[in-house]
Chains A and B, each alone.
Chain A
Amino acid sequence: MTAAAPVLALDRIGVEWPGPAPGAPGYVAVEDVSLSVGRGEFVSVVGPTGCGKSTLLNVAAGLLAPSSGSVLVAGERLSGLNRRAGYLFQADALMPWRNARENVEAGLIFAGVEQPQASRRADEWLRRVGLSGFGDRYPHQLSGGMRKRVALAQVLILEPEILLMDEPFAALDVQTRQLMENELLELWSAERRSVVFITHDLEEAIALSDRIVLLSAAPRTRPIGEFPIDLPRPRDVAEIRLTPRFLELHGRIWAALRAEVLKAYAVSQRLG
């Protein structure tokens, strides 16, 4: 992992939103963030709400150009969209006018794959995420968890080297969420993509990741700590939460995160 260039590297990224008037000081959302993700590594980025985690992910995806610093994808400087990355959004991102199959096959169609072949592969992926037989349903006819599975299949069918996930399961209920987390781990261990997983839920992060990066509270968000997670794999996200090692890690990371959460809370109180 150390010899080859990391699959994804953020190099001293800064993001500053322009101020209310020309000349006025802007809002520095993210400052001097460096982060590298190795091949097949599952990295979670954890921070208090509103700390600019999504901003960082958008920079990694190439959807947002950083004000300073650069993004390196497999050693090459990124300009424009990150073609090696798939992005799983927090909000519903399925096209409501396409049914599940048409949503999953969309990326293949865009890439010029023939319709019958794309449909076949889409059906295969729907089966892998446990939705065979649901191909003809439209997004509004599916539950929140099913929509997330479709979105996951939609991204994974393109076999991206890097998977960017922005609190993808935040809107799901606890049971569905744990099911989805286990399924994600299963899919991930089969293909070993590199994953950047954004969350504000520390337990979820520990249960899923190889490594956790803690971010400070906004503004001027920067990394304040890195914690390798040495829990054995394969893991079951529900069971692993009860192991002593999990609790120990949780205690250590939470101690570091706590101060930032309180800081973020104080800011929100002042603004509110």
Chain B
Amino acid sequence: MRSASGSDKTAAAPRRRTPLFVWRVVMLIAAFAAWYALTSTGVLPAFFFGRPVVVLGRVWDWFSSGKIYPHLGVTLVETVLAFAIGTLMGVAAGLWLGLSPTAASLLDPYIKAANAMPRVILAPIFAVWFGLGIASKVALGITLVFFIVFFNVFQGVREVSPVVLASVRMLGATRRQLLRHVYLPSATSWVFSSLHTSVGMAFVGAVVGEYLGSAAGVGYLILQAEGTFDIDTVFAGILVLTAFALLLDLAVTRAERHLLTWHPRAPADER
């Protein structure tokens, strides 16, 4: 539409885009208004559903006093570490099993079992193994990220075009060069296609880990507030987490666009 030559069309494009954004904001305000109306009139008990004014005040308070930043920082570090380590492990395992059918068929039932298991349940074990610090949350995040990346890379390696493979071999590539110049780039594109999910999972691992036992992090703030039935703070924590997750997703989209220039389907158009 942007390339349309008619001046009326180019003028129509921004005019049509603005209402969408406005409507989104209106929806958000309406949701808060409904929340406010329902709790202040007593239709919904404020004790259980919180008071939006207090919730927003709490969020404002956190950011203006800077009290939230160390907690956000901890959650962010856990997320990034879990994502980075989980992805590395997933790529390594995916490449290995993708290239070695014997090992793949040998380990197949165990991988399926490990993937089917609800891994959040491992959090208490990790807390015992790695303590209540960052490590146990990172470990939980890794178990969530690993399988997503692993399955994508495994699939990616198996679906490398046989023609490209034969062609690169004819061009004289050694086995190691094949790995570096064909399997790895091909697998990388599959990693990127799962990036949104895996970053989200790393975040889930961090927050759930904090929630189940920690001394810092946004999940910890929520846990503490729950302990004193401070429902307003719980909602404030949820709001901050949601906004943070959106920011993470935005960062992933940016990274994707930058790193996958070769990809025929621009990732942004895909969704």
Using CB atoms and an 8 Å cutoff, list the residues of chain A in contact with chain B: 61, 63, 81, 83, 85-87, 89, 91-99, 106-107, 110-111, 138-140, 151, 154-155, 158
Contact = CB atoms under 8 A, between A and B. Distances in A.
Given A95-B182, A97-B189, A87 B262 contact: no
B169 A63 contact: yes
B105 interface: no
A111 B170 contact: no
Contacts, number: 67
B264 interface: yes
B164 A140 contact: no
Contacts of A94: 164, 167
Contact of A158 (B164, B172, B174): B172
A96 B264 contact: yes
A154 B163 contact: no
Contact of B261 (A85, A91, A138, A139): A138
B132 interface: no
A74 to B, nearest CB: 17
Contacts of A87: 166-167, 170
Interface in B162-211: 163-164, 166-174, 177, 181-182, 185-186, 188-189
Given A97-B188, A106-B173, A110-B173, 15 more contacts: A81-B170, A85-B170, A87-B166, A89-B163, A89-B166, A91-B163, A94-B164, A95-B181, A96-B263, A97-B185, A97-B189, A98-B262, A106-B171, A110-B181, A140-B262
Nearest to B167: A93
B270 to A, nearest CB: 14
Contacts of B262: 96-99, 138-140
Contacts of B172: 83, 107, 110-111, 158
A258 to B, nearest CB: 31
Nearest to B166: A63
B264 A86 contact: no
Contact of A106 (B161, B168, B188, B263): B168
B interface, size bucket: 20 to 34
B43 to A, nearest CB: 56
Nearest to A88: B167
A136 to B, nearest CB: 10
A92 B164 CA distance: 8
B169 A81 contact: yes
Given A97-B262, A99-B262, A86 B170 contact: yes
A255 to B, nearest CB: 35
Nearest to B172: A110
A160 B185 CA distance: 27
A97 B186 contact: yes
B172 to A, nearest CB: 5
Q: Can you list the 10 inter-chain pairs with the closest CB atoms, starting with the nearest?
A: A93-B167, A140-B264, A107-B171, A97-B185, A87-B170, A138-B262, A110-B172, A91-B163, A110-B173, A97-B262
Contact of B170 (A61, A95, A96, A97): A61
A78 B188 CA distance: 36
Contacts of A154: 171
Interface string B135-170: 000000000000000000000000001011011111
Contact of B185 (A92, A95, A111, A139): A95
Contacts of A99: 262
24 contacts: A63-B166, A63-B169, A87-B167, A91-B163, A93-B164, A94-B167, A95-B168, A96-B164, A96-B263, A97-B185, A97-B188, A97-B189, A99-B262, A106-B168, A106-B181, A107-B171, A107-B172, A110-B177, A110-B181, A138-B261, A139-B262, A140-B262, A155-B170, A155-B171
Nearest to A82: B170
Contacts of B188: 97
B171 A110 contact: yes
Nearest to B261: A138
A45 B170 CA distance: 21
A63 B261 contact: no
B167 A89 contact: yes
